[in-house]
Structure 1
Amino acid sequence: MKLFTLTLVLFISLVDVALAQNDPYEGLIPAPVSLVKATGTFTFGKLTVVKADKPKDKAVELFKDFLVNNRGLANKVIKYSPTTKSGGTSVILTSRGADKLPAEAYKLTITPRKITVIGKGAGLFYGIQTLIQLFPVDKTVAANLPCMVINDEPRFGYRGMMLDVSRHFFNVAQVKKVIDLMAAYKLNNFHWHLVDGQGWRIEIKKYPKLTEIGGTRQQTMFGTNRDWPDGQPYTGFYTQDEIRDVVKYAAERYINIVPEIEMPAHSDAALRAYPELMCTPDTSVKNPARTNGLYCPTEETFTFLENVLTEVMALFPSKYIHIGGDEANKQPWKESAFCQALMKQLNLKDEKELQSYFIQRMEKFINSKGRSIIGWDEILEGGLAPNATVMSWTGEQGGIAAAQQKHNVIMTPQTTGLYFDHYQSRSPLEPVSFGRYAEFSETYKYEPIPKVLTADERKYIVGLQGNLWTEFVPTVAKLQYQILPRIFALSEIAWSKPENKDYQSFSEVRLAKHFERLDAMHYNYRVPTAFEVIDTMMIGAQFTMAPKTVVPGARIVYTLNGRDPVDTDLGYESPITFNIPAGEKRVFKAVVITPSGRRSLPTSTIMYNQAPVAAANYTGNSAGLKFTLIKGNFTAPDQLDYAPKDSAGIAKTLETSEFRKTRPASGIIYEGYISIPADGVYNFSAAAYNDTQLFIDDNKIADNEGALSLFKGYHKIKIKYFYTAPVPGTRRRGNPAIRIYMIAPGTMDKKLITGDVLYN
């Protein structure tokens, strides 16, 4: 419940100080397995000698580059010999003693005279990355590092990040900056989405038209993207030499690149170049296919794909080759006489089994080359290919089903904060993104291993991944804004033990140095807001506002007149107490401004000295809510007030699955009553992937999170919601559920509102 008093604010301030002083991980991200602090400091200066088993090892050279480029130091690097004694301070980078360490593990020891990093291969590299994080961000010549012992290893073997370069193309230098971020935070698999309906981005020597024709679309706009439809051709692709360069660059940072070549769907770019690979539609079919971005499963198609993959596998040494397999609109196969005949020949009962045949055939070819396939969770449909790894994106159910079938799973559900193209808050001032929400806290709090799995089944969850689809990401600045700071949360849930996670410490203490580092490297990032909740309403007569920022050196400005704060407004210095007259409201808006001039989105807190709302004169007890269905495509809930009504009825649930079967895009208004069990202040919130509005007694709940003082009894509830059909060529599915939550007086327990308290 977001009710503040002076006592509470002072308590929070003391907690913040305690957190900063007692950070058990010294600001490191991701949190190591164990960190034992010791007394004293190590002073790294010009005369500190770096000793390494292999001075020319790439990890050692990257550390040397860090010292030159970030510290202005040219320290001597010599070959390490344990029998050679030396004076002064030294850093030892060695694999001696690493034989008993798990894969990718390291041990870092700092004493007043010596730093020792023990690790082998990736382990040594990650130990060096941890050491780099311990250096101060300022570029003073001498750096004091606290003494400690760290023992560390990853929780998951697959720690991934996906970048889509089909919809918007990013050049080699820009891709390398993403790889740099991944390496710094111990992510080890870069899923490179090279092919989709919008553009083919990898040179294939045998089929030059793939990039000559398939690498270009006719204008910047795609689907519902709000880029201006400028009519200017949009193009770009990587030569094979550029691919080799990026693969080598990533490998030097212990990052494997997983290439994705889409099939059988999302293939419009390839089919623009080679239309003979499409199915010929049956002209007698009355309802032709909406889209035909689907390969026809002919021998010519399989030969084409095998030739393409042969060249791809020659460029990428990855064990995994991603072949997509998702969102296949199978209508072209239903209309194809060839496909129908093939299904009879193979004794396949439907087009789902035909897709399984397609995937399994490609898997056999890839397996014959010593590689394995990854596919999105739709490859489960019609039967899972024998050796496939499933990337579970539509939710967790695909991953659960695959693990239960003893298949490896990479968790990346779009419903749990791992889709970085989603909005980072519900503020209308967020840059245009895909119309769902993946707040930073949601990403951090995700647990990749579902509780429903048995102990044996859990071992098949081999890792997780964050995804950035780029329909709405046309620039590097937007790319960085979308993944920062969420990639920090991804790093910790992929590497750290669950018991070492602490969201408050992570978000309020440890992130500080990393924002400072991002500023020093001129990365764009989303500045955390002064309050975690963007817009809220609080009930009471007295409030104390204590906005805060984790960004070092940032300042907070605020207003009390409803305007968004600008640089010249009041500067926040210490907690402010407000006394609100009965029946009146005040609005406290705050913005964080970093030393580099970056600004957070404004937060708005309505302080309302509200008299309790009397219960409605309602005597019925009919379960469920009245609904009004409004057919059409909408972009905001307010549009539902002016659109013609379609139908009405009683809904016993807030699920919209049944509506979607006959109306792929619609608006819905739910109205009725909610039963309030006792007098008091209740907090309400709404969660849905499309924009939603929640009203209690005609009071709009700001940003779908706020409080009202209510008397016991029935109170009016109204929910305005819309959903849209997936845009052809996107890999997005609407979540059919709206969730309404309530926190009762005197508790912090956020309970889902179900039909037992809703009436019409």
Structure 2
Amino acid sequence: MKRVRVFLLIIFPLYLKAQYKNSDLPLIPRPLEVTKQQGTFLLNNQVSINLISKDTDLKNVGAYLSEILRDDYGVKLSNSSNRAIRFELDPQIPNQEGYVLKINPQLVSIKSKSAAGAFLAVQTLRQLIPIGQKDKIEIPAISIKDEPRFAHRGVMLDVGRYYFPVSFIKKYIDVLAAYKINKFHMHLTEDGGWRMEIKKYPKLQEISAWRDSTVVGHVSDKPRKYDGKRHGGYYTQEELRDLVKYAQQRFITIIPEIDMPGHTLSVLAAYPEFSCFPDRKYQVLTAWGIQKDILCPKENTFRFVEDVLTEVMDVFPSKYIHIGGDEAWKDNWKVCPHCQNLIKTEGLKDEHGLQSYFIKRVEKFVSSKGRAIIGWDEILEGGLAPNATVMSWRGEKGGIEAAKMGHNVIMSPNHYMYLDYYQTPEMRKREPVAIGSYLPLETVYSYNPLPKSLSKEEQKHILGVQAHIWSEYIPNGNHAEHMTFPRVLAMAEVGWTQQEKKDYSDFIKRLKTASKFLDYKQINYARYFLDQY
């Protein structure tokens, strides 16, 4: 027994020494397995990149790493050297985004199943490089085995209410990629603006993309004030194709959203014939709130929707096309003769059934093009389209219902994932104006996207998690960064890291180091977390 105690006294401290504490390495999101090795790898101009596998995408990852090291750290890699960063594809790695990163004094080895995994390994590697060091950089010898918990780790930016320049979106995507976000959802259309060029319907650019004025402050403020300034803009199809390519190079898929049948007042301002009452005058929304005017399910409306989605799918190669479906008030449908007749002829129960009819027709068209739709959880009302994926925002109820029905789900409950909410209890006393509610960093971090009420089999339908930045009160990139960061880093760990490995106090310690990277990238992140621990 005494020998056992002696053995433990010798071996256990050595074991502890070999295992990194979470915060010893400032990695976000936290990897699956991390083991310390002996020594360091000297990263300088005498290091080369070695590609074992002949793969174009992998070659591009190597070029991306070379560019980062040159631009951010002043390291120009050699064409040949005894010390190398080696990339190799390994079919034995089970996850498409999984990787094994091993660092010793002579070699940085990155093995992955795909180029996507190699890119994600590079993001881990760059976090191991201390910010501010130049030319000669020591990286700790280490072994990391890693893979994501969920396949979908997304962020939505609402560009419909406020137009954000392409240059900002590229900067935004760069930082999302650094934290292993792999989906960027562009909310392209709103009552307050239409942001995508549609060649067949030029008035969407001429009229729908612009509003005459915008409410100042919160819409509930009395008296309500307006700035009297014309606001708007749209992305050309050429700009969007370039943005898609830019994101693809960072292994991020852009998912476009064209909202319907609600949130379409900007469409009706240009094309009133798609409304239930074409003789009315419509204008692009200048204040915020849900509107009663929505698309009317007439044949000319469906032709319009199909024409638009055809151009959208030509620009965006993503599997998923988001079609909205949320907050579609049925008031006009209730008094529209065409809608009431359609309910009768199609044998529908009510206006909720009519919305289901609308969504199912759109879903059938999108599926015929080899794509699939995502809709907000309102698309459950009246019956769900066969191949629809549900994005659950009004809590988890819709997502749970859809998963039990065998449909795929992306969890994005507003009380955990709406980053347009306030971040401190003081709210407007301390922060710029926001839509309302309170969502601190810790609450975002605490979220578990797998509801316990689902069986193991049903949980397989939970594709992942997504955070949302709605822009009613976010007029520019500087404000968007303040609302997004660092809360989106907490969401990144929710989507990547196994639930049992999460630790909020440790996350805050790592976040304080990560903030140096955000500083370097000139991100206007909210600094409230710096008061913690």
TM-score by length of 2: 0.90
- Decide whether aligned partners of structure 1 residues 345 and 282 sit closer, same or farther in structure 2, where only a CA change above 3 A counts: farther
Structure 1 Cα separation of the partners of residues 220 and 207 of structure 2? 22
Structure 2 Cα separation of the partners of residues 44 and 530 of structure 1? 31
**Secondary structure at 2:314's aligned position in 1?**
helix
Question: Which structure 2 residues correspond to residues 185-200 of structure 1 after superposition, within 5 A?
Answer: 185-200=179-194
Gap runs ≥5 in structure 1: 1-17, 79-85, 284-289, 533-547, 549-760
- Decide whether aligned partners of structure 1 residues 21 and 298 sit closer, same or farther in structure 2, where only a CA change above 3 A counts: closer
How many angstroms does 1:100 deviate by?
A: 3.5
Question: Which structure 2 residues correspond to residues 62-211 of structure 1 after superposition, within 5 A?
Answer: 62-77=64-79, 87=82, 89-95=83-89, 97-119=90-112, 120-211=114-205
- Decide whether aligned partners of structure 1 residues 291 and 524 sit closer, same or farther in structure 2, where only a CA change above 3 A counts: closer
Indicate conservation of the 8 Å contact 2:441/2:529, yes or no: no
Gap runs ≥5 in structure 2: 1-16, 281-289
Letter matched to residue 295 of structure 2: Y
Residue number in structure 1 paired with 2:390: 390
Indicate conservation of the 8 Å contact 1:281/1:336, yes or no: no
Question: Which structure 2 residues correspond to residues 10-409 of structure 1 after superposition, within 5 A?
Answer: 22-23=21-22, 26-53=25-52, 57-77=59-79, 87=82, 89-95=83-89, 97-119=90-112, 120-221=114-215, 224=219, 229-280=226-277, 291-409=291-409
Q: 1:297-348, CA deviations, whole angstroms, 9 ceiling, x for partnerless residues?
A: 0000000000000000000001000000000110000010111111111111
Structure 2 Cα separation of the partners of residues 282 and 314 of structure 1? 33
- Decide whether aligned partners of structure 1 residues 235 and 160 sit closer, same or farther in structure 2, where only a CA change above 3 A counts: same
Residue number in structure 2 paired with 1:712: none
Structure 1 Cα separation of the partners of residues 186 and 61 of structure 2? 23
Q: 1:356-399, CA deviations, whole angstroms, 9 ceiling, x for partnerless residues?
A: 00000100000000000000000000001111000000110000
**Secondary structure at 1:244's aligned position in 2?**
helix
Indicate conservation of the 8 Å contact 1:282/1:336, yes or no: no
Structure 2 Cα separation of the partners of residues 519 and 228 of structure 1? 35
**Secondary structure at 1:436's aligned position in 2?**
coil
**Secondary structure at 1:58's aligned position in 2?**
helix
Structure 2 Cα separation of the partners of residues 310 and 69 of structure 1? 39
Q: 1:428-458, CA deviations, whole angstroms, 9 ceiling, x for partnerless residues?
A: 2111111111100000010001010111111
Residue number in structure 2 paired with 1:614: none
Q: 1:226-248, CA deviations, whole angstroms, 9 ceiling, x for partnerless residues?
A: 79612111111000000000000
Residue number in structure 1 paired with 2:516: 516
Structure 1 Cα separation of the partners of residues 24 and 313 of structure 2? 41
Structure 2 Cα separation of the partners of residues 463 and 200 of structure 1? 28
Indicate conservation of the 8 Å contact 1:277/1:296, yes or no: yes
Structure 2 Cα separation of the partners of residues 199 and 25 of structure 1? 47
**Secondary structure at 1:519's aligned position in 2?**
helix
Indicate conservation of the 8 Å contact 1:28/1:130, yes or no: yes
How many angstroms does 1:25 deviate by?
A: 6.1
Indicate conservation of the 8 Å contact 2:20/2:34, yes or no: no
- Decide whether aligned partners of structure 1 residues 309 and 530 sit closer, same or farther in structure 2, where only a CA change above 3 A counts: closer
Percentage identity across paired residues of the two chains: 45
**Secondary structure at 2:414's aligned position in 1?**
coil
Structure 2 Cα separation of the partners of residues 376 and 23 of structure 1? 36
How many angstroms does 1:141 deviate by?
A: 1.7
How many angstroms does 1:221 deviate by?
A: 2.1
How many angstroms does 1:406 deviate by?
A: 0.5
Q: 1:162-197, CA deviations, whole angstroms, 9 ceiling, x for partnerless residues?
A: 000011110111111111111111111110000111
How many angstroms does 1:55 deviate by?
A: 9.2
How many angstroms does 1:528 deviate by?
A: 2.8
How many angstroms does 1:40 deviate by?
A: 1.2
Q: 1:74-99, CA deviations, whole angstroms, 9 ceiling, x for partnerless residues?
A: 11246xxxxxxx63x2211222x344
Higher helix share: 2
**Secondary structure at 1:50's aligned position in 2?**
strand
Q: 1:58-81, CA deviations, whole angstroms, 9 ceiling, x for partnerless residues?
A: 211111111111111211246xxx
Indicate conservation of the 8 Å contact 1:277/1:295, yes or no: yes
Letter matched to residue 195 of structure 2: R
Q: 1:143-176, CA deviations, whole angstroms, 9 ceiling, x for partnerless residues?
A: 1111111111111111100000011110111111
Residue number in structure 2 paired with 1:657: none
**Secondary structure at 1:295's aligned position in 2?**
coil
Indicate conservation of the 8 Å contact 2:41/2:104, yes or no: yes
- Decide whether aligned partners of structure 1 residues 291 and 519 sit closer, same or farther in structure 2, where only a CA change above 3 A counts: closer
- Decide whether aligned partners of structure 1 residues 51 and 262 sit closer, same or farther in structure 2, where only a CA change above 3 A counts: same
Residue number in structure 2 paired with 1:481: 482
Deviates more, 1:428-437 or 1:396-405: 428-437
Q: 1:535-574, CA deviations, whole angstroms, 9 ceiling, x for partnerless residues?
A: xxxxxxxxxxxxx5xxxxxxxxxxxxxxxxxxxxxxxxxx
Letter matched to residue 444 of structure 1: Y
- Decide whether aligned partners of structure 1 residues 134 and 291 sit closer, same or farther in structure 2, where only a CA change above 3 A counts: closer
TM-score by length of 1: 0.64
> Could you say which structure has the greater relative contact order, defined with CA pairs below 8 angstroms and 6 or more residues apart?
2
How many angstroms does 1:295 deviate by?
A: 0.4
Structure 1 Cα separation of the partners of residues 24 and 111 of structure 2? 19
Residue number in structure 1 paired with 2:283: none
Higher strand share: 1
Indicate conservation of the 8 Å contact 1:98/1:118, yes or no: no
**Secondary structure at 2:415's aligned position in 1?**
coil
- Decide whether aligned partners of structure 1 residues 21 and 297 sit closer, same or farther in structure 2, where only a CA change above 3 A counts: closer
Indicate conservation of the 8 Å contact 2:120/2:180, yes or no: yes
- Decide whether aligned partners of structure 1 residues 523 and 100 sit closer, same or farther in structure 2, where only a CA change above 3 A counts: closer
How many angstroms does 1:527 deviate by?
A: 0.9
Structure 1 Cα separation of the partners of residues 337 and 439 of structure 2? 43
Indicate conservation of the 8 Å contact 2:247/2:254, yes or no: yes
- Decide whether aligned partners of structure 1 residues 199 and 397 sit closer, same or farther in structure 2, where only a CA change above 3 A counts: same
Q: How many residues align?
A: 498
Larger Rg: 1 or 2?
Answer: 1
